[in-house]
A and B are shown apart, each in its own frame.
Chain A
Amino acid sequence: MPTRRRALLVIAVLLVAVVLSLAGALLVGSYSISPGEVWARILGNSTGGEGSAGSDIVLGLRLPRALAAFACGGLLALAGALMQVLLRNPLADPYVLGVSGGAAVGALSAMLFGLPLIVIHGGSFVGALAAMLTVFGLARGDGSWTQSRLLLTGVIVAAGCGAGVALILSVAPEQKLHSMLFWLMGDLSHAGSPWPALAVLAIGLALVVPLARDLNLLSRGDLVAHTLGVKVRSLRAAVYALGSLLTAVAVTTTGSVGFIGLVVPHLVRLTIGNDQRVLLPATALAGGALLVVADTLARTVIAPQQLPVGVLTALLGVPVFLYLLSRQPKGGRE
């Protein structure tokens, strides 16, 4: 029996996890700073003065990077949860409809021509939007807009983008390959300001949480949702547009970090059930916390060298996902 009290409890627990993960990200690094000093820097009354190394590292490097990780983890996890409802397929992730493929083609093209960071970000966003609009336009087709048609169109567009990425990688000069590969695996070292992504995450949550009960019905089938009074067509279009936009913003900020969008909704669903009213905010918080932890590990495990964060999320994600897959009911009716 779903209750509001239980939902608030889940959210409160996850908020604590988010705070802990952010605290960890601020404290840990190759340059050691005491917890007391980190706290003082955040409050802005440190003895070291404004321009000191500790202040620059905590406020200028670690904090924005941790916040960007939180925002992108949250965006990807939320987008994944939305795609799973939209496609009524537990194996869907934010990239399944080609958004990240489009972003990769855009970003890597900009890198190939040696364009500045802002153009790389812009290219990735434009690529993501182009892929999204292509899938949306093609999948509408005769207006029926079934999820198998949507899924198939998305997979084909993603495959086309994959070929584009392979082409760029094969013609790219060797010194550019490293940063291209990092982008493809997801990397937070060039994340830039976290505020746009955080704002989009907040707006996205504010838009979907009021629709959560309608999404519960949508996950049980378009016809069921329709019989119970949900405006299915407009809801599906809105969820698709929003899920793709959230993904586009995340990918633009960090590159295509894998597995967060697939695994986090599953982990949360296994723990608290499939009620979207709790699942959506909980997924965003859990995804954010997980990416903060993964990124903290990525920059510390073999410091001073950094790992692409996507490697860590995948190392974590693959075994969890295989475990979940083996738990799927066998021969269940669809």
Chain B
Amino acid sequence: MSEVLLEARDLAAAIGGRTLVSCLDLHLNAGERLAILGRNGAGKTTLLHTLAGLRAPLAGDIRLCGEAMSALAPRRVAQLRGVLLQQQIDAFPASVLETALIGRHPWMERWAWESAADARAARQALAAVGLAELEQRDVHTLSGGERQRLALATLLTQAPRLALLDEPLSHLDLNHQIAVLKLLAGRARESGMGMIMVMHDVNLARRYADRALLLFGDGSALCGPVAEVLDAPTLSRLYGHPLRRIDAGGSDYFIPE
């Protein structure tokens, strides 16, 4: 029986007066990968931020590694869960290495400076996402995809037990999409990192997630193993557009009509 990283009971989340999720029960074990799918505005990010403790739930409670999220100190929460945000803000210049190093913040004492071990962790994370050569570059000079991979490296430097990723593949070209998903799969397997990923690509979700949570945008949701919940009628209803299932030599793919 593996450890439960995240547990949500009777969860409801709303934004702008619209209830997007209600009565949601969710749990995630160590090493498990869950994909959240849904239309634009269906509440994927709102739910992810609620699960991360970035916004208070409308109702229900969330437990992180066995403790009530609301009772944990912000610093402890940051040691246990990391978040990859949809957008990165770089108002001021900073080097790539410095940006990865901010992931160590929750682990450092107030007066501490980054140690050699912290720098090593940051450099390993940069190498894992293919940015080792760019550590001295200013973040303003990075391309969109490079900036996205840097945000992922910051998350890996933070080394949380649970990673909540909002569109981890945005701005990435095809080979980096697969590389990132393989990297995350490796972390899940080797260090038991659990992850919840907001995704748009149904086929990649099917390949790289264990379970999927479908948000229909009216408060209803469907959660289950990808092989069970991802079928053409359900996805057609989810996206409001007909999808067809194609059998390509043993593996199935969904394509829009």
Chain A positions within 8 Å of B, measured between CB atoms, are 1-4, 84, 88-90, 210, 213, 216-217, 219-221, 223-224, 226-231, 269, 273-275, 277, 329, 332-334
Contacts and interface: CB of A to CB of B under 8 A. Distances in A.
B172 interface: no
21 contacts: A1-B97, A1-B114, A2-B98, A2-B101, A88-B89, A90-B92, A210-B110, A210-B111, A217-B105, A220-B90, A220-B102, A221-B85, A224-B102, A227-B82, A228-B102, A228-B106, A229-B75, A230-B105, A274-B92, A333-B90, A334-B89
B119 interface: yes
A89 B89 CA distance: 11
B140 A227 contact: no
A229 B89 contact: no
A333 B145 CA distance: 13
Nearest to A226: B54
> Top 9 closest A-B pairs, CB basis?
A229-B78, A221-B89, A229-B75, A227-B83, A229-B106, A274-B92, A88-B91, A229-B74, A4-B113
Nearest to A328: B140
Given A227-B78, A229-B105, A273 B93 contact: yes
Contacts of A219: 91-92
Nearest to B113: A4
Contacts of B144: 333
Contacts of A84: 92
B29 interface: no
Interface of B: 52, 54, 73-79, 82-83, 85, 88-95, 97-99, 101-103, 105-106, 108, 110-111, 113-114, 119, 140, 144, 147, 158
> Which secondary structure dominates chain A's binding surface?
loop
A219 B92 CA distance: 7
B85 A227 contact: yes
Given A216-B102, A227-B85, A334-B91, 14 more contacts: A1-B101, A2-B101, A2-B113, A3-B113, A4-B113, A90-B91, A219-B92, A220-B89, A221-B85, A229-B106, A231-B74, A273-B95, A274-B92, A334-B89
Contact of A213 (B52, B85, B108): B108
B26 to A, nearest CB: 19
Contacts of A334: 89, 91
